[in-house]
Amino acid sequence: MMPGIAAKKRGRLRRQEGLTLVEVLVSLIVLGIITTMIIVAYFALNRSYAYSVASGKAREEARQGLARMVREIRDCETRLDLPEAAIVRARERWILLYTTFNEEGNSDPAMVPGLVMFRLYDNGQIWRFEDIDRNGDIANIDENSYPVSAVHQEAERASGEGGRSLVGHVVNYDGLISPTPVLFRYSYIDDLGQIQMSNEIYYTQNRVRIRSVQIHMLVDLNPKHAPVYADLMSTAQLRNQRSN
């Protein structure tokens, strides 16, 4: 065979050789890296989507709860048969008031207002309780003491009259312990006729002077991970408060 022809055959044979082991290994490594990047991106997108959905739901729940409290506090009113203010208890983490808000026939001035309570528990839940039977109290609720024990909290949430959870993951605590804000602050007229603010107001003769209630709610939108807070604030101007 001619030397030139043999060289050409050897060249064709070399060009027809398969991948080497090193090339296969390099290809597998590159493919593994790309696959890992795709999987990591997929899970990151899933986590981001889940967080967006959960935080959006928590934010909307907080806004609706805040709006509900503002509407009911704004429409609180006195009972004509009792020497009591429209706001029966004015505390920094709970409020008790008389109202006919959202009740059928509440346009009738003779309708007897019922008690409604909004209470923030140490577990971060705001609950709403209601005097459904209009007998002047909220069954299975201690209207005079706060804070309450963990056992008492469970009992109230389980059997308190008209009880339901309004907002969760609220992180408002006593301002002396933490820099987070109190839930309720009250604007009232003092003995000199000046507008003052206070976290708690005692005695009927002082509560009739309340003119507005500021609600400042701090909600954790990401409770199982690094905290992300929604800072919500609104003020309820009392429309029906009677001054003596």
Q: Is the torsion defined by CA of 98, 101, 104, 109 positive or negative? A: positive
Range of 66-75, 83-92, 100-109 with top mean pLDDT: 66-75
Asked, for residue 107, whether it belongs to a domain, the answer is: yes
Asked, for residue 231, whether it belongs to a domain, the answer is: yes
pTM, two decimals, is: 0.76
pLDDT digits (tens, 9 = 90+) for 148-206: 677 788 888 888 889 999 998 888 875 444 567 889 999 999 888 888 999 999 988 89
Q: Where are the beta strands (DSSP E) in the chain?
A: 87-90, 94-99, 114-120, 126-130, 164-167, 184-189, 195-198, 210-220, 229-237
pLDDT digits (tens, 9 = 90+) for 91-120: 999 999 998 876 665 666 667 788 999 999
Asked, for residue 164, whether it belongs to a domain, the answer is: yes
Place of tokens 């429309």: 239
Asked, for residue 10, whether it belongs to a domain, the answer is: no
Total domains present in the chain:
1
Q: How far is CA 17 from the centre of its chain?
A: 68
Asked, for residue 170, whether it belongs to a domain, the answer is: yes
Structural domain boundaries, residue 215 = 52-237
Asked, for residue 126, whether it belongs to a domain, the answer is: yes
How many CB atoms sit inside 10 A of residue 206's CB?
Answer: 17
Asked, for residue 6, whether it belongs to a domain, the answer is: no
pLDDT of residue 135: 80
Asked, for residue 9, whether it belongs to a domain, the answer is: no
